[in-house]
Chain A
Amino acid sequence: MIRIQARTEPSSIMKVVSPLLAITLTLIFGCILFSAIGKSPTQALHVLLIAPLADSYNIGEMFVKMGPLLLCAVGLSLCYRANMWNIGAEGQLLAGALGGSAMALYFIDSESAFSLPITLLAGIISGMLWAAIPTFLKLRFNSNLILTTIMFNYIALYLLIWAVHGPLRDPQGFGFPESAMFADSTLLPTLFESSRIHLGIVFAIVSAFIAWFILSKSHLGFQIRVFGSDEPAARYAGFSSKKLSWFVMLFAGALAGLAGVSETTGPIGQLVPNVSPGYGYSAIIVAYLGRLHPLGAILAAVFMAVLYMGGDLAQIEMGIPVAVVSMFQGVLLFFLLACDFFINNRLAFSNQATN
């Protein structure tokens, strides 16, 4: 007889195995799915997971996608550690893209060395501002952070669309809803001659290490962890929940804003309506896949970026609809949460069933 039994202590093995198990189960699910729509599962998985890493161009594109995913996921990890359910990375990213682009367009005729840092700063501040409003509403009026951050995602999206149709539209752009191409002085430098990999990925990895350092070494990070794991204890200890909430939300907003402005000043080079293919939402999965650990998020972001790349390739090479990628992401999160159950529980095989 098999029973579910609570573990006396959470299994440290399962903490590591759970994401791997979830990925394996997702792949098995993928095989079944591809067979069902009449595609060869082996070829499909090859295109989805191996092809993105097969040549240097694809690897470069993978890093381009990884940057914004990781930046958003690092910020979200900190928020979720502190029980701040920020679903608004997408909106904060778009706000960063919008604010940064406005600044970049202001510098369109400038060749100053300061124009890029100021543009990036504008993006960061826009992201922080976008995170600050729901945070204020939560702390002042106790509004539901999940709902307000989701709503702010839409507000950011439509503000951005309005901007590219109106004030930021390129006057010489034949009416297309796009801004003018930014000046070279406001473009992020690429790391290698032949690829589009730009400074954004460096920002992302550095931010992951900074977040890890804050969480594990600083008193502030300790307070965040206490606050997330046991709020009454944090109140008892006298930690200020306001201070911590502001810190994690502004930190996440800044990183998401940086992700947004890095996209427009990096691979895109102008402001367009579809800056993000849902990076801010996928980053939620990345954060969980990385165990809400900033360094774990690096690995998870690689995986998710591969999946994004693979989705594009599968569409091009095999005619598999791009919605399959979203489905993959959803199934992955599902399996991950299911496998996490076994961190605190286990199956007990009892031989006394006959008694």
Chain B
Amino acid sequence: MKKHNLVSRLELVNLTKQYPGCLANDNISITLMPGEIHALLGENGAGKSTLVKTIYGVVAPDKGDIIWDGKEVDIKSPSIARDLGIGMVFQHFSLFETLTVSQNIELCLSKTQLNKIGDLAKKITQLSEEYGLNVNPSRYVHSLSIGERQRVEIMRCLVQSVKLLILDEPTSVLTPQEVAGLFGVLRTLSKEGCSILFISHKLHEVTEICHKATILRGGKVVDTCVPNEETPASIAKMMVGDLAEQDAGYAKREGNERVFHVENLSLPAKQPFGTSLKNINFELKSGEILGIAGVAGNGQDELMAIISGEDERNVKHSLSLDNLDIGHLHAGERRKLGMAYVPEERLGRGAVPDMSLTENTLLTHSDGFLKNGLVEWQNVKEYTSALIAKYKVKCHGEFSEAKSLSGGNLQKFIMGREIGQNPKVLICAHPTWGVDVGAALAIHQALLELRDQGAAILLVSEDIDELFLLADRMAAVCDGYLSPVVRTEATNIDQIGQWMAGTFINNTSNRTQEAKA
């Protein structure tokens, strides 16, 4: 080992950032060596985003030093960060859809950088081969899949000869196969000496790829560990403190009789960039969880909207509940028949931000609280207090506005509200998206309890581990098609991953043609 390898790439010393009413980072010190893949872990609100934004120059720290390659630096803006060799891939990509890959990359390069590179397209092709990124510089971004777009973002960092790459939840939008590809790229980068700061909620990924991990809780560093000496469960414990039970090994159930089914559902997309649904058929039995996997934007939103009734188009004979056509009823009428729905967007759809939790209870749960069209507010209030206590929703009280709750707590509230209506069918979209481990555990257990009481649950999630954990039967959507439905025990992550990528589509359409012939 040469001596310069001992100089750390990045050292954070006692970084502190105070927001009004919240100490986001409290004396955080972290050291990253060249080539190190370092995981940054913590529940929502633990201070991860603030920390990486500080490193990338988006947020100015109140106190503390940043030492880069042995020298103290003051990163005042992202462009200074980029000049130092820090690249960041945000959770939400910042690409122009109407431009090509190389135009997008060109946009964030300075003139001197461009002159140095010369032929940008050639450089992109060369880097693409070197790292196996498979990025074609002349393609338009709107024609790329989510995984490809992410690789464009990584390419953007590589072109600027990056020394530290920050990735914010990079795998949440990828199929398992794409994740494996990404990890290959990251390992290559690491071997060449590029440090990587990796934020993730998925602990098994961290144990798989990261060399070191720092765990944040309440803005403080609470622990560090070497992930491959730990198990996901032991890391989870460090993240949330003493968590009595762990989220694993739930028993699978066979459903009973059919309560809900979707038959020959085809629907053109409503919006120009939406997905049309193509001949979807499945049934939902009482006492089971049917999981639907899929990469975002493959028709899940459209399917949820038509099932819940928010998409008001009439599909009378395609949806039925208890053998009764419901496809022509509006959302309120479907609720009255025993359907409940947990939407993906918590704030702004599942709950009204400016209203109290009491009022938000009444949003979907009015049964038993109305008398001659008038609301019995006292009863709603008491019910809400009980709901808050039962699901351990952290808030000031039933009078708290929905927007004052953290994502996980609001989700627990919404979940509790929907479950409290004793639905026959619960439709649940991405229930633990962006939610911390503790809240996710509570949500999982609430879902299983509802299943065991005999409700039918349709669970749509991008988190494939969650589906394997909870679902009794599984399917995947791709481009508006639904794959065959299989028992979870009879499948594996490879098969579902291939279905998410659409390998079943030709078979299905062939089969339909055969059936017609």
Asked if A176 is at the interface of the complex by the 8 Å CB criterion, the answer is no
Asked if A232 is at the interface of the complex by the 8 Å CB criterion, the answer is yes
Q: Which residues from B are CB-within-8-Å of A9?
A: 401, 404
Cross-chain contact B374 with A236 (CB below 8 angstroms): no
Known: A229-B355, A230-B353, A232-B349. A240 touches B330 (CB 8 A): yes
Cross-chain contact B374 with A217 (CB below 8 angstroms): yes
Partner-contacting stretch, out of A118-126, A178-186, A195-203, A218-226: A218-226
Q: Which residues from B are CB-within-8-Å of A239?
A: 332
Cross-chain contact A233 with B351 (CB below 8 angstroms): yes
Cross-chain contact B373 with A233 (CB below 8 angstroms): no
| Residue among B330, B335, B370 making CB contact with A219, cutoff 8 Å | B370
The answer for the CA separation of A233 and B332 in the assembled complex, in Å, is 12
Number of A-B contacts defined by CB within 8 Å: 75
Q: Which residues from A are CB-within-8-Å of B324?
A: none
Cross-chain contact A219 with B309 (CB below 8 angstroms): no
Q: Which residues from B are CB-within-8-Å of A220?
A: 373
Cross-chain contact B330 with A230 (CB below 8 angstroms): no
Asked if A167 is at the interface of the complex by the 8 Å CB criterion, the answer is no
Cross-chain contact A236 with B343 (CB below 8 angstroms): yes
Asked if A5 is at the interface of the complex by the 8 Å CB criterion, the answer is yes
| Residue among B332, B353, B366, B401 making CB contact with A240, cutoff 8 Å | B332
Cross-chain contact A226 with B352 (CB below 8 angstroms): yes
Cross-chain contact B373 with A237 (CB below 8 angstroms): no
Q: Which residues from B are CB-within-8-Å of A172?
A: none
Nearest CB in chain B: distance from A229 CB, A = 5
Cross-chain contact A236 with B359 (CB below 8 angstroms): no
Q: Which residues from B are CB-within-8-Å of A219?
A: 362, 366, 370, 373-375
The answer for the CA separation of A327 and B280 in the assembled complex, in Å, is 62
The answer for the CA separation of A218 and B349 in the assembled complex, in Å, is 22
The answer for the CA separation of A232 and B364 in the assembled complex, in Å, is 13
The answer for the CA separation of A217 and B375 in the assembled complex, in Å, is 6
- Which residue of chain A is the closest to B352 with respect to CB atoms? A230
Asked if A112 is at the interface of the complex by the 8 Å CB criterion, the answer is no
Chain B CB within 10 Å — which of A9, A218, A230, A348 has the most? Answer: A230
Q: Mark B342-374, 1 if CB is under 8 A from A, else 0.
A: 010100111111110001001110100010011
Q: Mark B265-285, 1 if CB is under 8 A from A, else 0.
A: 000000000000000000000
- Which residue of chain B is the closest to A348 with respect to CB atoms? B20
Q: Which residues from B are CB-within-8-Å of A10?
A: 354
Known: A226-B355, A238-B330. A218 touches B363 (CB 8 A): no
- Which residue of chain B is the closest to A217 with respect to CB atoms? B374
Nearest CB in chain A: distance from B400 CB, A = 9
Asked if A194 is at the interface of the complex by the 8 Å CB criterion, the answer is no
Asked if A354 is at the interface of the complex by the 8 Å CB criterion, the answer is no
Q: Which residues from B are CB-within-8-Å of A218?
A: 373-375
* Interface size grouping (class) on chain A: 20 to 34
Nearest CB in chain B: distance from A152 CB, A = 28
Q: Which residues from B are CB-within-8-Å of A238?
A: 309, 330-335, 364
Q: Which residues from A are CB-within-8-Å of B364?
A: 236-238
Asked if A46 is at the interface of the complex by the 8 Å CB criterion, the answer is no
The answer for the CA separation of A8 and B406 in the assembled complex, in Å, is 13
Known: A235-B331, A238-B330. A229 touches B404 (CB 8 A): no
Q: Which residues from B are CB-within-8-Å of A229?
A: 352-355
- Which residue of chain A is the closest to B329 with respect to CB atoms? A238
The answer for the CA separation of A36 and B374 in the assembled complex, in Å, is 55
The answer for the CA separation of A233 and B360 in the assembled complex, in Å, is 10
Q: Which residues from A are CB-within-8-Å of B449?
A: none
Q: Mark A233-251, 1 if CB is under 8 A from B, else 0.
A: 1011111100000000000
Cross-chain contact B308 with A236 (CB below 8 angstroms): yes
Asked if B310 is at the interface of the complex by the 8 Å CB criterion, the answer is yes
Asked if B118 is at the interface of the complex by the 8 Å CB criterion, the answer is no
Asked if B21 is at the interface of the complex by the 8 Å CB criterion, the answer is yes
Q: Give the contacts of A42-79 with B (CB-CB under 8 A).
A: none
The answer for the CA separation of A222 and B359 in the assembled complex, in Å, is 8
Q: Mark A1-30, 1 if CB is under 8 A from B, else 0.
A: 000010011100000000000000000000
- Which residue of chain B is the closest to A230 with respect to CB atoms? B352
Cross-chain contact B348 with A5 (CB below 8 angstroms): no
Cross-chain contact B354 with A230 (CB below 8 angstroms): yes
Cross-chain contact A237 with B20 (CB below 8 angstroms): no
Asked if B341 is at the interface of the complex by the 8 Å CB criterion, the answer is yes
Q: Which residues from B are CB-within-8-Å of A232?
A: 345, 348-349
The answer for the CA separation of A87 and B370 in the assembled complex, in Å, is 33
The answer for the CA separation of A157 and B366 in the assembled complex, in Å, is 44
Cross-chain contact A233 with B348 (CB below 8 angstroms): yes
Chain A CB within 10 Å — which of B351, B363, B366 has the most? Answer: B363
Given contacts A5-B20, A236-B364, 17 further A-B pairs with CB under 8 A are: A9-B404, A217-B374, A217-B377, A219-B370, A219-B375, A222-B359, A222-B375, A226-B352, A226-B355, A229-B352, A229-B353, A232-B349, A236-B308, A238-B309, A238-B330, A240-B330, A348-B20
Question: Contact residues of A with B, CB < 8 Å?
Answer: 5, 8-10, 217-220, 222, 225-226, 229-230, 232-233, 235-240, 348
List 21 A-B pairs, Cβ < 8 Å. A8-B21, A8-B404, A9-B404, A10-B354, A217-B377, A219-B373, A225-B355, A226-B352, A226-B363, A230-B354, A232-B348, A233-B351, A233-B363, A236-B341, A236-B343, A236-B349, A237-B364, A238-B332, A238-B334, A238-B335, A240-B332
Q: Which 6 A-B pairs have the closest CB atoms?
A: A238-B332, A238-B331, A230-B352, A232-B349, A233-B352, A237-B363
